[in-house]
Structure 1
Amino acid sequence: MQRLIFHLDPISPYAYLAFEALPQALEGCSYWVEYRPVLFAGLLQHHGQKGPAEIAPKRAWTYRDVAWRAHQLGVPLQLPARHPFNPLPLLRLMLACAPAGQGPNRRVCEAVLHHVWRGDGADAEDPQRVAALTDTLAPVRDPAGVEVKAELRALTEAAVAEGVFGVPTVTADGRHFWGVDALPMLAAWLKGDPWFDGPAWDDAAAPRPGVQRA
Structure 2
Amino acid sequence: MMQADWYFDFVSPFSYLHWQKIRPLVDAGRVRALPIVFGAVLATLQQRGPAEIPKKREFIYRQALWQARREGVPMVFPPAHPFNPLPALRLCVAAGTTVAAIDALFDAVWRDGRALDTAEALADVASSLGIDDAAAAIADPAVKERLRANTDAALAAGVFGVPTLAVGGELFWGNESHDLMLAVLDDPGLLEHGPLAGVGLIPVGIERRR
How far the C-alpha of 1:31 sits from its partner, in A, is: 6.1
With structure 2 as the length reference, what TM-score do the two structures score?
Answer: 0.88
- Partner residue, 2:128: 136
Asked if residue 18 in structure 1 is aligned to residue 13 in structure 2, the reply is no
- Partner residue, 2:206: 210
With structure 1 as the length reference, what TM-score do the two structures score?
Answer: 0.86
Secondary structure of the equivalent of 1:205? helix
- Whether contact under 8 Å (1:7, 1:170) holds in the other structure is yes
- Whether contact under 8 Å (1:21, 1:73) holds in the other structure is no
How far the C-alpha of 1:3 sits from its partner, in A, is: 3.6
Change (3 A) 1:127 1:151: closer
Structure holding more helix per residue: 2
Secondary structure of the equivalent of 2:137? coil
- Partner residue, 1:182: 177
Secondary structure of the equivalent of 1:166? coil
AA of the residue aligned to 2:128: T
- Partner residue, 1:116: 109
RMSD of aligned Cα (Å): 2.2
State the structure with bigger RCO (CA 8 A, min sep 6), 1 or 2: 1
Q: For structure 2, which runs of at least 5 residues remain unmatched after alignment?
A: none
AA of the residue aligned to 1:84: P
Aligned residues between the structures: 204
Q: For structure 1, which runs of at least 5 residues remain unmatched after alignment?
A: 99-103
Asked if residue 154 in structure 1 is aligned to residue 146 in structure 2, the reply is no
- Whether contact under 8 Å (2:191, 2:197) holds in the other structure is no
Change (3 A) 1:143 1:127: closer
How far the C-alpha of 1:90 sits from its partner, in A, is: 0.5
Deviations 1:60-94 (A, max 9, x none): 00110000000110000010001111000110001
- Partner residue, 2:94: 96
